[in-house]
Chains A and B, each alone.
Chain A
């Protein structure tokens, strides 16, 4: 069996950089089974028989987050041959806390002490040999960023693996705690292996409920352990959680006192502090944030992104031509050609056109993450978003969602808390993505030529729906209860490494292309088949196709919303493939080209203004496109939950669309707008933000009054 080395460390400790340096491009990104925690594996650049497993960035091995549970299960159950523990020298004490935890698993370990340049500038140096002596564990000084010390790290690692020596660990618990650990160990001899017994014993003393259940202890054993804990607590006059933690930290404080050579004078304000003074300033924070977001949005969606879409379309046009010519030359039947070109290729290229935009977005997101600004965004926005059952970090997916829901849903991974993350995934598709805009533009042009506010108002509706749904979901059993705690490290600002940012970008892009690509391909073929054949499986005109007959069956569902004709129903169904295909559907149904002015005439013949507005609202809020549904499934893991989410989205869409049509929402707003016309998209967004602030303010007042 090949040698397995697990890489463990705190978030922001340079772990990813070290992983990239060790494995080069030989890495595989997947998920840990059953959870959305990313699992990265690679082989060592120099020796392909050595596997490197990148554990998620964690602070301890207590089961606080999914990352920590995944990591400790791996260390305890799969026992790698070695742990390389990367320790950020500029944040020594908290990093060493994890180190002690890792030592308690008794897996052999080497510490990679990552010297950040920041530390050298501060004039602090670290006595590596004393650190190694104190921790009874080899310590190698490296710089993950400059890739120095990697060779000596690997040599040390191989020596440790080869020596198979007993794993030593420093003795930092007080005699009372040590005695209690031994007593607990004696209780669980049959349930645990010799190597992991110590880890379990310490965790049981720390009142780890999850492990307690895992071990399936008998009532007598549980009672005995409880007695040991109670005895310890009364002797120490402190609870065991606090006791064990502070003994670890006490040892660390003593060690770090011994090994850090500090400069004589107090260090002046660091560059990071200076940047932070401006960026999270009381008055400047929000404007700066808005500008950064606008620039990212503008560059990736509007300018460069828009430009690249043209290239991709040209490319796929060229591929389509080549394929048609080739197939014709091979005497393929027109049906096969149509299946491949109008079905599969059209569907796949519709999604692929978004890839350049997404890559640029991912590029910026990676910079935001690596630079440390992402956590400041959460810090700034948290207060506002908590009101709607979300966290500060939810803002990022929403911004990205104005471009495309797929990367937006994927970017929700940066939210640690499960509840917040799920809620964000559910609500993100309510933000109108760029593929919905052509639909709104068509409807607005056809039925509302004189009402400039109609298309932009979709942003407003979307944002209001996010807020309302957040408030509703917060009251359900899945999202209710106490708000999730928000304990987040604010890492020092760093200049992101280009290599890291690019690897990040390509990894995410690749996983989108492969996974969404296969799903889209399958769906495209299915929809094309439904659109081209009748129930007898004869090739027919679209108006007599299976899809049309399905449309006729489901059309009555839309009657209460004002558009019970089968064409509108079919458009909604094809919208599942990609929202912009709804425009094409109207075209095909009418037998005219996609950009023909007759579409508008046709559309205005099957809608009234009120039903058109209801149709737009439904399009905005209902189940997103296949690619986004695929992304939702990937992030939520279970199909059941994904279907529930889609059900919720469609339900909200139906309800709101119904209300809009029944109360003649368009007429109402139009009457109000006769007084003032607000033509710009950003004005309506601003309006929504103002309303959000007012709601928050009003709720605050009410709470204060109560």
Chain B
């Protein structure tokens, strides 16, 4: 399973499935990460976590713990 954590900087992917449950998953959905949403990995923070992604024309930061629930494909 390929997740957002396996992506290299600058790479472009599409969301295929969102794992996890409860309010956190709902939040991720509502911030715009849905099935078929395109994501670009902009950067990783200087200490290795969190990451910065670009979705729907804005930049969002999430931790690797959250990113591992986002299944993607190229």
A residues engaging B (CB < 8 A)? Answer: 59-60, 62-64, 90-94, 97, 206, 241-242, 245-246, 249, 280-283, 285-286, 375, 379-380, 382-384, 386, 483, 485-492
Give the CA-CA distance A62 to B52 in the complex, in Å.
24
A379-B61, A383-B47 in contact; A485/B24 too (CB < 8 A)?
yes
- Selected contact of B26 from candidates A206, A282, A491, CB within 8 Å: A206
- 7 shortest interchain CB distances as A-B pairs: A383-B47, A490-B59, A246-B34, A245-B29, A93-B56, A285-B46, A60-B30
A487 near B66 with CB under 8 A, answer: yes
Closest residue of chain A to B23, judged by CB?
A: A64
Interchain CB contact under 8 A, A93 and B47: no
User: Are the C-beta atoms of A382 and B63 separated by less than 8 Å?
Assistant: yes
- What's the least CB distance linking A691 to chain B, in Å? 16
> Chain B 13-32, CB within 8 Å of chain A: the 1/0 string?
00000100001111111111
Q: Tell whether, in the assembled complex, residue A490 and residue B31 are in contact, meaning their CB atoms are under 8 Å apart.
A: no
CB neighbours of A280 from chain B (8 A): 43, 45-46, 52
19 residue pairs A–B, Cβ–Cβ below 8 Å: A59-B31, A63-B23, A64-B23, A93-B32, A94-B31, A241-B29, A242-B34, A245-B29, A249-B32, A280-B46, A283-B46, A285-B46, A286-B46, A375-B61, A382-B63, A383-B45, A487-B31, A489-B58, A491-B58
**B56 & A485 in contact (Cβ 8 Å cutoff):** no
Q: How far is the CA of A206 from the CA of B30 in the complex (A)?
A: 12
Report Cα–Cα, A90/B56, bound state, in Å. 11
B63 touches A485 (CB 8 A): yes
Write out the residue numbers on chain B whose beta carbons fall within 8 Å of the beta carbon of A62.
Answer: 23, 26-27, 30
Bound-complex Cα distance A428 to B30 (A) = 33
B18 touches A242 (CB 8 A): yes
Closest-by-CB residue of A relative to B58 is: A91
B32 contacts A94, C-beta separation under 8 Å: yes
B50's partner among A92, A245, A379 (CB-CB below 8 A) is A379
Nearest Cβ on chain B to A624's Cβ, whole angstroms: 30
Given A59-B31, A487-B31, A487-B66, check contact A241 B25 (CB 8 Å).
yes
Is the CB–CB distance between A486 and B57 below 8 Å? Answer: no
Q: Considering the complex, which residues of chain B in the window 31-68 have a beta carbon less than 8 Å from any beta carbon of chain A?
A: 31-32, 34-35, 37, 43, 45-50, 52, 56-63, 65-66
- A249 to B66: give the CA distance in the assembly, Å: 21
B49 & A383 in contact (Cβ 8 Å cutoff): yes
Starting from the known contacts A92-B57, A281-B46, A382-B49, 18 additional A-B residue pairs (CB-CB under 8 Å) come to A64-B26, A94-B56, A206-B26, A241-B25, A242-B18, A242-B29, A245-B30, A246-B29, A249-B32, A280-B43, A280-B46, A380-B45, A383-B45, A486-B50, A486-B61, A487-B24, A488-B62, A491-B59
* A490 and B52 contacting across the interface, CB-CB below 8 Å: yes
Q: How far is the CB of B42 from chain A (nearest CB, A)?
A: 8
* Cβ–Cβ contact B60 & A488, under 8 A: yes
In angstroms, Cα B53 to Cα A470, docked, is 29
Nearest chain A CB to B17 CB, angstrom units: 9
CB closest chain-B residue, reference A696: B47
Q: Which of A97, A241, A491 has the most CB of B within 10 A?
A: A241
Among residues of A, the one whose C-beta sits closest to the C-beta of B18 is A242
* A380 x B46 contact (CB < 8 A): yes
Closest B residue to A260 by beta carbon equals B57
A483 touches B65 (CB 8 A): yes
CA distance A531 to B12 in the complex (A): 70
The minimal Cβ–Cβ distance linking A141 to chain B, given in whole angstroms, is 19
Contact yes or no, B32 A485, CB < 8 A: no
Q: Are B30 and A59 in contact (CB under 8 A)?
A: yes
Residue contact A379 to B45, C-beta cutoff 8 Å: yes
Contacts A383-B45, A483-B65, A486-B50 given; does A97 touch B59 at CB 8 Å: no
Residue of A nearest to B20 (CB): A485
Please tell me if the beta carbons of A487 and B28 are within 8 angstroms of each other in the complex: yes
Complex CA distance for A86 and B18, rounded to whole angstroms: 30
Contact B27 A485 (CB under 8 A): yes
A486 touches B18 (CB 8 A): no
**Which A residues are in CB contact (< 8 Å) with B24?**
485, 487
Bound Cα distance A404, B32 (Å): 40
Q: How far is the CA of A485 from the CA of B63 in the complex (A)?
A: 7
Q: Which residues of A contact B60 (CB under 8 A)?
A: 487-490
Query: Measured between C-beta atoms, what is the minimum distance from B27 to chain A in Å?
Result: 5
| CB-based contact A382/B27 at 8 Å | no
Are A384 and B35 also in contact (CB < 8 A) when A94-B56, A489-B59 are?
A: no
Q: Are A245 and B34 in contact (CB under 8 A)?
A: yes
From B56, B58, B60, name the one whose CB has the most chain A CB atoms within 10 angstroms: B58
- List A contacts of B57 (CB < 8 A): 90-93
Measured in the bound complex, the distance between the Cα atoms of B65 and A263 in whole Å is 37
Do the beta carbons of A382 and B31 come within 8 Å of each other?
no
CB neighbours (8 Å) of B45 from chain A are 280, 285, 379-380, 382-383
Given contacts A64-B26, A241-B26, A245-B29, contact A488 B35 (CB under 8 A): no
Interchain CA distance A93-B57 in the complex, whole Å: 8
CA distance A491 to B57 in the complex (A): 11
Cβ of A14 to closest chain B Cβ, rounded Å = 14
Quick one: closest A residue to B29, CB to CB?
Answer: A245
Q: Which residue of B lies closest to A483 (CB)?
A: B65
Query: Nearest Cβ distance between residue B18 and chain A, in whole angstroms?
Result: 7
A245 CB, min distance to chain B CBs, angstroms: 4
Instruction: Provide the residues of chain A in CB contact with B49, threshold 8 Å.
Output: 382-383
Q: State whether A382 and B59 are in contact (beta carbons under 8 Å apart), knowing that A59-B30, A241-B25, A242-B18 are contacts in the complex.
A: no
Evaluate contact between A487 and B32: CB separation under 8 angstroms.
Answer: no
Nearest chain-A residue to B37 (Cβ)?
Answer: A249
* A246–B35 touching, CB < 8 Å: yes
Closest Cβ neighbor of A241 among chain B residues: B26
Whole-angstrom distance between the Cβ of B14 and the nearest chain A Cβ: 13
Please determine whether B66 and A485 come into contact, CB atoms closer than 8 angstroms: yes
Residue in A282, A379, A483 whose beta carbon sits within 8 Å of that of B52 in the complex: A379
Report the separation of the CA atoms of residues A483 and B61 in the bound assembly, to the nearest whole angstrom. Answer: 16
Distance to closest chain A CB from B64 (angstroms): 10
The residues of B that contact A282 with a CB separation of less than 8 Å are: 46
**Contacts of B29 on A, CB cut-off 8 Å?**
241-242, 245-246
Distance in Å: Cβ of A625 to nearest Cβ of chain B:
34
State the CA gap A64–B29 with chains docked (Å).
Answer: 12
Q: Of the candidates B23, B43, B48, B59, which one forms a contact with A383 in the assembled complex, judged by CB atoms under 8 Å apart?
A: B48
Interchain CA distance A94-B57 in the complex, whole Å? 9
Contact of B35 among A242, A491, A492 (CB under 8 A): A242
C-alpha gap A678/B4 in the complex (Å): 46
Shortest beta-carbon distance from B36 to chain A in Å? 8
Is B63 within 8 A of A486, CB to CB? yes
